[in-house]
Amino acid sequence: MGYDYARLNALLTGRCEKSRKLENHTYAERVPDMDDVIAIRLHATQILKFWPSGKVQVNSGGWQTVTTKARINDYLPDGWVVRSDSRIWYIGKTNGNRWTLDPNHSMMFKDGCILYPSGHIEKALPMSNLKKVKKERQEIATFSKAYMDALVAGEVPAPSGGDCWGCLMVDTKTGKTVMGEDHLRNHIEEKYYVPSLLLRAIEKKPVSQVAKAWLSDRWNKNENQMMGGHWEKIALEQLGKALKRYMFSQLGFGD
């Protein structure tokens, strides 16, 4: 049985009128400054918001993981589902089966998409964009790998006053660059590897202390202390993955 505003409102009536734990790291809560809106929060991300009208907003917070998808599906209203294929998420109405999408009422998922009781979906990506999305995801993966190669080669300088301000400045509410998505696409197209981009990536997609130490040694040119071999491999793998996931989430593709 799916969730809707009425069911959540009933759960938040009485002693638990502001917030109620549903399962591990998952809470139903009233949204401050948004009259009559109730959210489902997973960790720090409000993955679903419900309005009395039946409107529902869906958001992964940039964490398109198995757990996030499972939680969204657990609390979506009846008749809706999120599915994934080749790491791309899709959202839409079900087609007779709880887990089967109706091709006439489904789109590619994008954070902030809105579902209506009529079956209408707003702010998602049309299926006609699938080829373009796959191409852009591959370009991001290629860019992230090339960035790591440039970092090892000493071609990515340490952070300084001459860094890219477009990557440094982000909206404190959304975490998005104030320069917009096209700014990041220009970095990909021009193969422009700046330190602020990686700093933002590991801020949003944390890496281990090993990776941070290796990066610090690289930028400070501590040749005697710099970890090589196995540790360098681990650091580059984590840093590259963080950068790729950050670019995916910034451009609306999640992880």
Tell me the per-residue pLDDT of 54-68, one tens digit each, with 9 for 90 and over: 999 999 987 888 999
Mean pLDDT for the chain overall: 90
> C-alpha 175: how far from its chain's center?
11
Return the higher-pLDDT residue of 216 and 170. 216
28 DSSP β-pair partners: 20, 40
Using alpha carbons, list the distances in angstroms from residue 217 to 140, 213, 223, 233.
26, 6, 7, 14
- Asked if 252 contacts 206 with a C-beta cutoff of 8 angstroms, the reply is no
Residue 166 scores a pLDDT above 90: no
pLDDT band at 224 (very low <50, low <70, confident <90, very high): low
Tell me the per-residue pLDDT of 39-51, one tens digit each, with 9 for 90 and over: 999 999 999 999 9
CA dihedral 103, 104, 108, 113 (to 10 degrees): -140
